[in-house]
């Protein structure tokens, strides 16, 4: 009797928590699909908007490198470059230097 009650309570809490989430829509620009496919596989895309517009290209490059080397994100070199370029141009202080 107790397990079904706990399961129902867990479902109700998780549904309520999900209802408050907003959908993150990244700027429509070249590279957006690569960012969405790689970055959203591990974390919410709201981190991008929360950190914007402060990072420049070097900061975004450091962040992408950290995700790959420290957290093991399976991002190849070509996608990493695309992600850095997209983030720099659309959520930072400018494009590649």
Q: Is residue 8 part of a domain?
A: no
Q: Is residue 16 part of a domain?
A: no
Distance (Å, whole) CA 86 – CA 31: 5
Whether 94 and 60 have beta carbons less than 8 Å apart is answered as no
Could you give the number of structural domains in the chain? 1
Three-state SS annotation for 16-81: HHHHCCCCCCCCCCCCHHHHHHHHCCCCCCHHHHHHCCCCCHHHHHHHHHHHHHCCCCCCCHHHHH
CATH number for the domain that contains residue 91: 1.10.760.10
Q: Is residue 58 part of a domain?
A: yes
Average pLDDT, the chain: 83
Tens digit of pLDDT per residue, the chain (97 long)? 556 555 555 555 554 445 556 778 899 999 999 999 999 999 999 989 887 778 999 999 999 999 999 999 999 999 999 999 999 999 988 655 4
Q: Is residue 96 part of a domain?
A: yes
Please write the tens of the pLDDT for every residue from 21-48. 677 889 999 999 999 999 999 999 998 9
Q: Give the global pTM.
A: 0.74
């Amino acid at each position: 009797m107790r397990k079904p009650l706990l399961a129902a309570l867990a479902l109700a809490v998780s549904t309520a928590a999900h209802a408050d989430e907003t959908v993150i829509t990244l700027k429509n620009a070249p590279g957006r699909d690569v960012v969405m496919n790689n970055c959203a596989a591990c974390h919410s895309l709201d981190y991008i908007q929360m950190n914007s517009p402060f990072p420049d290209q070097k900061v975004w490059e450091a962040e992408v490198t950290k995700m790959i080397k420290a957290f093991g994100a399976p991002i190849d070199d070509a996608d990493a470059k695309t992600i850095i370029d997209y983030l720099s141009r659309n959520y930072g202080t400018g494009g590649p230097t």
